[in-house]
Amino acid sequence: MTPSTSQTLPRYGLMLGNFATGLCILAPAGMLTVLADGLNVGIRETGLLVTYGAVILCIGSPIVAWLTTRIDRRTLLVGSLAFMVIGQAGSAFAPNYATVLALRLAMVAGAAVFTPQAASTIALLVDEKDRSRSIAFVFLGWSLAVAGGLPLVAFVSGYIGWRGAFVAASLTALIPLILLTFALPRALYGPPLSLRSFSVLARNRKILLLLSITILSLSAQLIVFVYLAPLLQTLSGASHEVIGLMFALFGVAGFIGNVVATRLVGELGTWATAGVFIGCTFVGLLSWSLGAGYLPAMGAGLGFIGLGFAATNSMQQARLVQAAPELSSASVALNTSGVYVGQAIGSGVGGILFGLGWLHGIGFVGLAFAAAGLGVWSVTRDR
């Protein structure tokens, strides 16, 4: 391999692996109504597939990072993708809701390792000056999962059912699995982690504040996003085609936001760039909340929320790596746990509000989370 190839192939493999991970974790949101009908359960129960999975992920991410610290990155990342392939394929043939839930919990326990270890792995492969941009590039996979993956899930589930959608999701993990098998070098290890690594981070005020921003931002975004399809159907009478377009709008906006973030961060720095995109989430939820029931206003709000979705987390990961480079595997794992804590809070609170029929209130609760995230961000400026 030439030096450029030795970095390029892993970058794309890790990015596509994040695509598969994002689709694995968010797939139920793309087919929430179809899946609920197919499994003969309610919307809230189907949404709990996301919530329960998030609980496993937020607990599992730091634990798996610690337990696997002595396993080389190639074996670890390829193994995580194999869990996704098997879990999604198994879900496609599940006879009932309980089986889907059990398979999902097992699958996400294996998937918990991928995103944090992808970020720490690319940090090992590139020069320090390229680290922030490379981490942001790898995280583009999540934006692409929403931009292309979830509309595909919505389309496939709408026309051939939820089982076909799970098969399609399973196949998406095969490509990065094969690519990383050949692209990542052998015997690639991150800095050794111990329980002390996490205790050191727990005493670092800056790290704790950064993690709280992640939790608040994701709670704000996903309280709406997980229930997007039924909210659009109920509040505006949107069709399956319109819902698919809205998923695509969110994802394309997320992709654009992350690309713009990789350009801005070199000029503005990570603190200011993170503030721009947390602000996008706030503006988007304000538009959604005030315009609930009016499709153009909801679409505009969704676009702004999408701009903040992946870009905010990319900057959060970059800031954590900057804050404690020697403990980046642990801090990024904790950040991923923060993502899933936010996912659990957002989907859980959204499910409660949806079940109570407080559909217009969902956006305003998300807005409060976003405002709190901006407040914490304002006191984390690098000196």
- The full set of domain ranges for the chain reads 3-377
Q: What's the average model confidence in pLDDT over 5-22? A: 85
Instruction: Give percent of the chain with pLDDT exceeding 90.
Output: 33
Residues 74/181, Cβ–Cβ less than 8 Å: yes
Fold of the CATH domain 3-377:
Growth Hormone; Chain: A; (1.20.1250)
**Average per-residue pLDDT for the chain:** 85
Q: Which residue has the higher pLDDT, 162 or 258?
A: 162
Q: What's the average model confidence in pLDDT over 140-148? A: 79
Q: What is the 3-state secondary structure (H, E, C) of the chain?
A: CCHHHHHHHHHHHHHHHHHHHHHHHHHHHHCHHHHHHHHCCCHHHHHHHHHHHHHHHHHHHHHHHHHCCCCCHHHHHHHHHHHHHHHHHHHHCCCCHHHHHHHHHHHHHHHCCHHHHHHHHHHHHCCHHHHHHHHHHHHHHHHHHHHHHHHHHHHHHHHHCHHHHHHHHHHHCHHHHHHHHHHCCCCCCCCCCCHHHHHHHHCCHHHHHHHHHHHHHHHHHHHHHCCHHHHHHHHHCCCHHHHHHHHHHHHHHHHHHHHHHHHHHHHHCHHHHHHHHHHHHHHHHHHHHHCCCCHHHHHHHHHHHHHHHHHHHHHHHHHHHHHCHHHHHHHHHHHHHHHHHHHHHHHHHHHHHHHHCCHHHHHHHHHHHHHHHHHHHCCCCCC
What is the identity of the amino acid at 195?
Answer: L
Tell me, what's the pLDDT at 298?
94
Residues 6+ apart with CB under 8 A from 174: 81, 85
How do residues 344-354 score in pLDDT, each as one tens digit?
Answer: 898 889 988 98
What does the alpha-carbon distance between residue 350 and residue 127 come to, in Å, rounded to a whole number? 41
How do residues 161-219 score in pLDDT, each as one tens digit?
Answer: 899 999 999 999 999 999 999 888 877 776 666 667 777 777 888 889 999 999 999 99
Tell me, what's the pLDDT at 190?
65
Range with the largest mean pLDDT of 198-202, 321-325, 365-369: 365-369
What does the alpha-carbon distance between residue 68 and residue 333 come to, in Å, rounded to a whole number? 12
- In terms of Cβ atoms closer than 10 Å to its own Cβ (0-12, 13-18, 19+), residue 335 is buried
Tell me, what's the pLDDT at 347?
85
Residues 25/109, Cβ–Cβ less than 8 Å: no
How do residues 38-84 score in pLDDT, each as one tens digit?
Answer: 999 888 888 888 888 878 877 776 777 677 767 888 888 999 999 99
* C-alpha torsion sign, points 101, 102, 107, 109: positive
Residues 105/52, Cβ–Cβ less than 8 Å: yes
Q: What's the average model confidence in pLDDT over 118-125? A: 80
pLDDT band at 2 (very low <50, low <70, confident <90, very high): very low
What does each C-alpha distance from 263 to 141, 258, 344 come to in angstroms? 17, 9, 31
How do residues 324-335 score in pLDDT, each as one tens digit?
Answer: 777 776 777 788
Tell me, what's the pLDDT at 1?
41
pLDDT band at 3 (very low <50, low <70, confident <90, very high): very low
Q: How many Cβ atoms from other residues are within 10 Å of residue 15's Cβ?
A: 22
Q: What is the 3-state secondary structure (H, E, C) of 60-127?
A: HHHHHHHHCCCCCHHHHHHHHHHHHHHHHHHHHCCCCHHHHHHHHHHHHHHHCCHHHHHHHHHHHHCC
What is the identity of the amino acid at 235?
Answer: L
Q: Which residue has the higher pLDDT, 153 or 287?
A: 287
Tell me, what's the pLDDT at 120?
76
Q: Which residue has the higher pLDDT, 300 or 54?
A: 300
Instruction: Give percent of the chain with pLDDT exceeding 70.
Output: 94
Tell me, what's the pLDDT at 338?
85
Length of the chain: 383
